[in-house]
Amino acid sequence: MYRILLIFLSLALSSACLARGVEKVDGRVDRGPTRVGIDYRDFEDAASDAVQSLLSSGAVVNPDGGRYVLMISRIVNDTMQRIDTDQLVKKIRIELLNSGRVVVTTAVSGDGAEDRANFQVREDLRGNDEFDQSRVQRRGTLVAPDISLSGKILQRNLTIDRRKQQIEYYFQLTLTDLETGLAVWENEFPIIKRASNRSVGW
């Protein structure tokens, strides 16, 4: 029994020591070391700049006074890193939704990330007498998108000299009017970093 108590005590002390070295980071004011690859601050900056540019352009001001229905198309990762492009898209979606000018459809998407529940509840529940049919979604109720957002993230590595390199990331985004197929807004948001040639950008 005494040995068991000693083991538990040593484990507790070890956990306490490990916790002492942990630091909570506030992303809103974080000025910690910058990594060569893309980090959360880069996503924050690119998403914020994109939304501000899009809102100030007037491209999402509906002349009828309502909100545009936005479809998320493909965001291509053309970098040497394994980037979850959904992280960038999610930040843009949240800010646009909060602006009151756009609502995002989850019924369709360009990268296969649509919410299948939109169709599953219709296919599985419609006509099934185990469910109250007055509450099952009727045909013709899904709302088609008005506009779509697509883009690409590019990476370019340039040698400055024998010691230094420049890593360039470009967040390229396009908003398309789905009625006409015309791009109504486009912009590019570069993030440039310089580091030792020994640093790896992935």
**pLDDT band with cut points at 50, 70 and 90 for residue 16:** very low
pLDDT digits (tens, 9 = 90+) for 119-163: 898 999 999 999 999 999 999 999 999 999 999 999 998 888 888
Of 7-16, 60-69, 99-108, 186-195, least confident by mean pLDDT is 7-16
**What value does the mean pLDDT of the chain take?**
85
Structure tokens at 2: 């005494």
Q: What is the mean pLDDT of residues 42-62?
A: 93
- Computed on alpha carbons and rounded to an integer, the radius of gyration of the chain in Å comes to 24
Its pTM stands at 0.78
Structure tokens at 26: 């506030």
The C-alpha torsion from 60 through 98 and 153 to 149, rounded to 10°, is: -40
**pLDDT band with cut points at 50, 70 and 90 for residue 17:** very low
- Whole-angstrom distance, CA of residue 100 vs CA of residue 95: 9
- Whole-angstrom distance, CA of residue 177 vs CA of residue 185: 9
Q: What is the mean pLDDT of residues 186-201?
A: 84
Give the amino acid at 201: G
Domain 37-59+69-114+147-202 class?
alpha beta
**pLDDT band with cut points at 50, 70 and 90 for residue 10:** low
DSSP per residue, 145-189? PSEEEEEEEEEEEEE-SSSEEEEEEEEEEEEEETTTTEEEEEEEE
Judged against a pLDDT cut of 60, whether residue 13 lies above it is answered with no
pLDDT digits (tens, 9 = 90+) for 163-192: 889 999 999 999 999 999 999 999 999 999
Domain ranges of the chain: 37-59+69-114+147-202
Phi–psi pair at 117, nearest 5 degrees: -60, -30
Most confident of 16-25, 104-113, 133-142: 133-142
